[in-house]
Structures are given as structure tokens and as C-alpha cells.
């Protein structure tokens, strides 16, 4: 077996020496490399079952990358292909963006209109079991592989949720996830709403079409816009930059800095504003990460929007996809994101200008007897305007406002703020 160990050492050293050339011929830690080769040989010689060299080296690479940070990873041929497909807006699975925390899988955000969201999975949920398998000890890649599967098959997620005493169990049916990343509607006369659930290659184009449609419904001009980035886990960087650019007329949108000079990139805005200065309220929460934090940070620093909600996730690192051959790639963290004012998003997130709790409100029951008004009194004076006083009935508006407040309290608060900003703007 001595000869096998020596051969394994030679294989390992050849691989590592190749990597040394790419690292500007820095001095290699030979003692540590000898330890690696020794362990490699011991596994080949003494492990309870035979292990293929290719598999063993792939495990070593995965372990090396996973030890750096939660976002660096090795991508085999299948994983690399799925990553490319995912950015286009169609992929298989449950419809959740996940990360690793304390050895468990944590839900960053469920994606809109996916099996996970419909089942009741929420941002911040911690997955502790996948069917009957405990998550503790799994790598993130292994957990993701288990959650993926054929359309129509079921998986049971056991989840620990803040504020809930006992673990929760959710059975989710896998499906092909086709994400429509942009949704829009008119909230009230002249006030628009755009939701971006995930930044994809087409997100900016779809958002601009949505805003154009909202403008037509508002007779050519919007009084204000709510941009909803809650539970938006990020996605394509260029999409976030382009969305920010749509509302900014000048200045830096975001810049990146890493150890390598080539990692310093500045992204600046072109001189146009699709809303022509109309006020914007951006909704964020703990499920808003990465690209959505770039948008919120840029609009906040340029004082172009009011940020409402709760503090964002804090994923402010840049991952570069580096192909290593025709069948594999490395996703490597190479830089950090910084907002225009120089704030690092990493592990900090974006603090909203106005904090909002995630609460549910219930409308009070209407009294059986309406309160009397002056106009109800016998022989009341006329208002003096030359016209009969209207005993106005705003029940329709009141009911609509109550309905929005009940279904989405944070959105209702954003709309109220937009109305106030529009009033101040109209008064000069």
C-alpha cells in the first residue's frame, strides 16, 4: 500500500502545483500539502469501502470552497447548467431561495406563486428535516439536491419558525418553477404598484413595460409608485443596476471592491427617470437580499425613494462563475457590494427609513347606529357656499382602504405615505 500512498501524493501535488501557477507562484505550504496527500492516501487505503479518485477530489474541492463562506461552491455539469437556466426564469424544485446557518438550511425567501409559497413557507424559516433525513451535517448542495426532484413528487419539510413553540411540518409538491418576476397594478387613482420577486435577465424590460401600462391607466402620468422588493432574494446583478437606473438621472448606483484590482467595478446611472420625479416608496424585509438590497441602497443614498419595512438580509458579496473545464465551474466570492455613499451591504443589510412591523390588522365592526352629523340636525344652517351641503358617502373608499390594510398592512402604509408626498408636492 505504500506505493499507492506515494501515487496519491503525486496526484495531489500535481493538482496543487497547477493551482500554484495561477496564484502568482506564491510559496506553497508544503507541510500542509503533505498532510493533505497523506490523508488522501489513508482514505484510499483504509476507508471501509473503495472510493473513486474523481469523487474524492471533488469532495475535497467542495469542502475547500464551502469552508470559505456560504456562497462559494463547486458546480458540476448539472449544477452549472441549472444555474444558467435559473437566471432565465425557469427551473425545477420547490421555489425557495435558501442559505446555510448554524448547520441548518435557512429560507431566505419563498418565490411568488411557487409550491413553497403556496404551502406556507416563510422567509426566516429554518429547515431541520427533509422527509425523514435530518439536515444537520448536510452541505447546502446536498440539501438542495434532495429538495429537487421530478414534477409532482412530494417532500415533507420540518421547519422551526421564530415565535412558534413546536416544529412545523409542510408537505410540498415539486413543480417546474416558471417565475414571472414582475407584477403590477393600480392601487388607487394615479398610484401604481410594481412587484419584482426575483431579478432575472428580463426583469428590467418587464418592469418598464409594466410602468408604461400603469401610466396609460393613469392618463399619462403616475402620482407615485410602490416598488415591492419584499422576499426578493436577488438574482442577476445587471438587472438590479438597470432597475435602479430607471429611476435615477445620474450618479453611482453600486460599486464593487475585492482583493484583485479587476474586481473594482463602478455602475453609474444614465440621465433619465422613467417616473419624471414622482415619489417612490420601496418595500423591503428580511427576505430582501443581494440585488434587491442594491436597488434599495442606491435609491436610498440618492434620496430618490423612501425605504419602508424591516432590515434586509445583508447579502452584499459578489460571486464570480469561473469555468474550470467544459463540464464544471467554481462559484467564488470575489468582491463586496457598496452603496453609492460607501456603505457595505455585507452582513449589515439596508436599514429602512421607516420601520414597519409585519402585522395583520382587523377592521372594527361598524356601529349599529351611525353617529349624528351637523347635517342630520333639524333646521341646520346651510354651508354658505351657495350649494346644498352634500351628505357625503365615502363608504366605497373607506371599504377599499380597510380591505388593503387587512390584506397587506405594509402596502397600505406605503400607499398612505405616497399620498402624503403627492399632496406636499402639489402644494409646492
Q: Is 315 a catalytic residue?
A: yes
Instruction: Report the distance separating Cα 375 and Cα 377, nearest Å.
Output: 6
Q: Which residues on neighbouring strands pair with residue 178, listed in sequence order?
A: 90
Q: Which of 215, 223, 315, 331 is catalytic?
A: 315
Rounded to 5°, the CA angle 296-406-400 comes to: 95
Q: Please report the DSSP string for 236-297 in residue order.
A: -HHHHHHHHHHH-SSSEEEEEE-SSGGG-EEEE--S--TTTT--EEEEE-TT--THHHHHHH
Q: Check residue 399 and give its pLDDT.
A: 66
Grid cell 438597470 is found at: 242
Q: Are strands 182-188 and 175-178 parallel, antiparallel or unpaired?
A: unpaired
Phi then psi for residue 96, to 5 deg, are -130, 145
What is the full per-residue pLDDT of the chain (428 aa) written as tens digits?
A: 444 444 444 544 555 555 555 554 568 899 999 999 999 999 999 999 999 999 999 999 999 999 999 899 999 888 887 776 555 555 568 999 898 888 899 999 898 889 999 999 999 999 999 999 999 988 887 898 899 888 899 999 999 999 999 999 999 999 987 767 899 999 999 999 999 998 988 899 999 999 999 999 999 999 999 999 999 999 889 999 999 999 999 999 999 999 988 889 999 999 999 999 999 999 999 999 999 999 999 999 999 999 999 999 999 999 988 999 888 999 999 999 999 999 999 999 999 999 998 888 887 777 777 788 888 888 888 887 766 655 555 555 666 667 898 889 999 999 999 999 999 988 87
The sign of the dihedral angle between the CA atoms of 160, 162, 166, 170 is negative
Q: Is 290 a catalytic residue?
A: yes
Q: Which residues on neighbouring strands pair with residue 323, listed in sequence order?
A: 329
CATH of domain 182-355: 3.90.226.10
Q: Check residue 2 and give its pLDDT.
A: 42
Compute how many other C-beta atoms are within 10 angstroms of the C-beta atom of residue 376: 10
Q: Check residue 150 and give its pLDDT.
A: 83
Grid cell 496527500 is found at: 37
Q: Which residues on neighbouring strands pair with residue 126, listed in sequence order?
A: 106, 160
Q: Which of 206, 228, 301, 408 is catalytic?
A: 301
Instruction: Report the distance separating Cα 317 and Cα 171, nearest Å.
Output: 33
Grid cell 426578493 is found at: 232
Which residues are CB-contacts of 78 (< 8 A; sequence separation ≥ 6)?
none
Instruction: Report the distance separating Cα 172 and Cα 117, nearest Å.
Output: 9
Domain ranges of the chain: 90-178, 182-355
CATH of domain 90-178: 2.30.42.10
Q: Coil, helix or strand for 3?
A: helix
CA–chain centroid gap for 28, Å, is: 39
Alpha helices of 302-350 — where are they, by DSSP H? none
Q: Coil, helix or strand for 218?
A: coil
Instruction: Report the distance separating Cα 197 and Cα 185, nearest Å.
Output: 15
Instruction: Report the distance separating Cα 174 and Cα 150, nearest Å.
Output: 7
CA distances from 205 to 104, 211, 215, 222, 242 (A): 37, 10, 16, 19, 9
CA–chain centroid gap for 208, Å, is: 20
Q: Is 301 a catalytic residue?
A: yes
Q: Is 141 exposed, middle or buried (0-12, 13-18, 19+ CB in 10 A)?
A: middle
Q: Which of 72, 181, 288, 290 is catalytic?
A: 290
Q: Coil, helix or strand for 192?
A: strand
CA distances from 413 to 263, 281, 351, 418 (A): 40, 10, 17, 9
Cell numbers at residue 57, please? 477530489
Q: Is 309 exposed, middle or buried (0-12, 13-18, 19+ CB in 10 A)?
A: buried
* Total residue count of the chain as it appears in this document: 428
Do 243 and 253 touch, CB atoms closer than 8 A?
no
Q: Check residue 6 and give its pLDDT.
A: 44
Amino acid at each position: 500500500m505504500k506505493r499507492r500512498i506515494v501515487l496519491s501524493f503525486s496526484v495531489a501535488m500535481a493538482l496543487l502545483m497547477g493551482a500554484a501557477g495561477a496564484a502568482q507562484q506564491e510559496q506553497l505550504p508544503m507541510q500542509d500539502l503533505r498532510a493533505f496527500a497523506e490523508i488522501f492516501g489513508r482514505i484510499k487505503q483504509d476507508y471501509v469501502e473503495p472510493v473513486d479518485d474523481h469523487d474524492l477530489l471533488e469532495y475535497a474541492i467542495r469542502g475547500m470552497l464551502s469552508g470559505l463562506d456560504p456562497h462559494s461552491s463547486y458546480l458540476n455539469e448539472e449544477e452549472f447548467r441549472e444555474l444558467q437556466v435559473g437566471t432565465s426564469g425557469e427551473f425545477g424544485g420547490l421555489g425557495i431561495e435558501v442559505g446555510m446557518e448554524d448547520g441548518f438550511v435557512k429560507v431566505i425567501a419563498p418565490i411568488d406563486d411557487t409550491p413553497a409559497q403556496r404551502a406556507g413557507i416563510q422567509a426566516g424559516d429554518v429547515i431541520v428535516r427533509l422527509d425523514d433525513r435530518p439536515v444537520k451535517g448536510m452541505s447546502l448542495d446536498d440539501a438542495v439536491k434532495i429538495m429537487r426532484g421530478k414534477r409532482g413528487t412530494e417532500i415533507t419539510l420540518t421547519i422551526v419558525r421564530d415565535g412558534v413553540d413546536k416544529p412545523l411540518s409542510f408537505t410540498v409538491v415539486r413543480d417546474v418553477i416558471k417565475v414571472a418576476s414582475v407584477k403590477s397594478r393600480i392601487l388607487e387613482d394615479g398610484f401604481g404598484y410594481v412587484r419584482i420577486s426575483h431579478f432575472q435577465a428580463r426583469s428590467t424590460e418587464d418592469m418598464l413595460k409594466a410602468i408604461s401600462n400603469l401610466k396609460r391607466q393613469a392618463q399619462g402620468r403616475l402620482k407615485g409608485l410602490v416598488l415591492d422588493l419584499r422576499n426578493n432574494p436577488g438574482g442577476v446583478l445587471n438587472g438590479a443596476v438597470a432597475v435602479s437606473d430607471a429611476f435615477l438621472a445620474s450618479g453611482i448606483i453600486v460599486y464593487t471592491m475585492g482583493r484583485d484590482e479587476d474586481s473594482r467595478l463602478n455602475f453609474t446611472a444614465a440621465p433619465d427617470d422613467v417616473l419624471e420625479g414622482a415619489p417612490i416608496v420601496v418595500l423591503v424585509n428580511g427576505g430582501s437580499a443581494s440585488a434587491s438590497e442594491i436597488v434599495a441602497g442606491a435609491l436610498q443614498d440618492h434620496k430618490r425613494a423612501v425605504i419602508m419595512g424591516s432590515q434586509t438580509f445583508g447579502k452584499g458579496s459578489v460571486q464570480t462563475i469561473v469555468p474550470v473545464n467544459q463540464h464544471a465551474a467554481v462559484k467564488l466570492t470575489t468582491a463586496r457590494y457598496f452603496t453609492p455613499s460607501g456603505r457595505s451591504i455585507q452582513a449589515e443589510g439596508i436599514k429602512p427609513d421607516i420601520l414597519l412591523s409585519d402585522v395583520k390588522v382587523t377592521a372594527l365592526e361598524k356601529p349599529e347606529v351611525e353617529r349624528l352629523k351637523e347635517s342630520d340636525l333639524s333646521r341646520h344652517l346651510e354651508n354658505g357656499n351657495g350649494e346644498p351641503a352634500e351628505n357625503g358617502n365615502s363608504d366605497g373608499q373607506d371599504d377599499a382602504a380597510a380591505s388593503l390594510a387587512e390584506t397587506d398592512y405594509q402596502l397600505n402604509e406605503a400607499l398612505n405615505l405616497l399620498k402624503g408626498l403627492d399632496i406636499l408636492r402639489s402644494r409646492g
